[in-house]
Structure 1
């Protein structure tokens, strides 16, 4: 079994891509075949029918939207809160483990495919050297570094078992921090969504303004990261 695992590790990225394609094809088929009318009803049916599977996959991609969905479904009773946190955390853990092993066993591929990200890799190595294991715990909340940090740690000699342990605890904390507040304030969130649906002409400008603020924040954060990367590059 260990020999099979070792042979598969160098192809972790390709395996992940294949699984993602199969998964979304499965969802698209079931969305089309849903025994209800209307796209919205079909989507809700899909979430209720395959909620945990979707949540696991969304967790692998580390999308907070999937966790928000899980929080709302937990509030309405269509999901179990504790199982949702467990499954979402496992998905986040699995995704980062794949990225870690891409770095560990595909170094030449990483160096050729991520040439434009050299400064980010340098920043990730510097953060790991400066802060140690807490950077593994915090990387899920670092815009623009979520994928880079696990891959860059894989490129080093960092112990795989230690990374896996910290990564698992971090993933479950990330899932709980996102899902629990949505579950707790679920009634208020559902009221807001219902109001937005009924008064879309008011909700649309608000959503655009909110979305624009988020884009502005992330652009600012990206420029800040770029500045740090340049400072590191100049130091080297």
Structure 2
């Protein structure tokens, strides 16, 4: 069982990172960075998969907002309170908004759609989105890797895939709770 789970992570871990970053992916990338520290995944590959998923998701949402402004799905997004805040931030600081978008809680889906509806050119978004996705992927991958190093220094070398996954699951729950508390605090 242990070896099978290890091989499953090695074989499909990067696909999971890519898929996880198509949505809210911070915890997925931190977890993958932790697994890279445990030598189950390769850190530069984790960064590349995180970059690709994040970049593709935001590009797709940008073009959905640009092409289908009047569609029911886009109109529902436009009705969210965060959408108006995103548009006003885009008007004031379009470049800064694009670069900071991934680090702003609650704007992962709304932000790229708002950018698509705005006057930001597709080429400008493409370039700044690539830069932002690279920064984001490196930061969160390294955060997970550093977390692995910290846990290792506290607990000694972790043995067994189950132990690694248990620690990573705890990390995921902690990150999720931190986001929930931060969101509640912002309201």
Q: Which TM-score band (shorter chain)?
A: 0.7 to 0.9
SS in 2 for 1:65: helix
RMSD: 3.0
Structure-2 residue corresponding to 1:215 = 180
Extract unaligned runs of 5+ from structure 1.
1-35, 224-236
* Pairwise CA distance, 1:181: 3.0
Verify the 8 A CA contact 1:60 1:95 in the aligned structure 2.
yes
SS in 2 for 1:113: helix
2:108 paired residue among 146, 164, 175: 146
Spell out, residue by residue over 1:160-187, the C-alpha distance to the aligned partner (whole angstroms, 9 max, x if none).
1110111111111111111113223424
Verify the 8 A CA contact 2:78 2:114 in the aligned structure 1.
no
Verify the 8 A CA contact 1:85 1:179 in the aligned structure 2.
yes
Verify the 8 A CA contact 2:27 2:175 in the aligned structure 1.
no
Structure-1 residue corresponding to 2:36 = 74
Structure-1 residue corresponding to 2:51 = 89
Larger relative contact order (Cα-Cα within 8 Å, sequence gap ≥ 6): 2
For residues 112 and 85 of structure 1, the distance between their equivalents in structure 2, rounded to whole angstroms, comes to 33
1:132 paired residue among 88, 94, 97: 94
Q: In the comparison of the two structures, how many residue pairs are matched?
A: 175
Q: Which has the higher helix share?
A: 1
Verify the 8 A CA contact 1:90 1:168 in the aligned structure 2.
no
Structure 2 matches for 1:16-35, cutoff 5 A? Answer: none
Verify the 8 A CA contact 1:100 1:151 in the aligned structure 2.
yes
Extract unaligned runs of 5+ from structure 2.
none
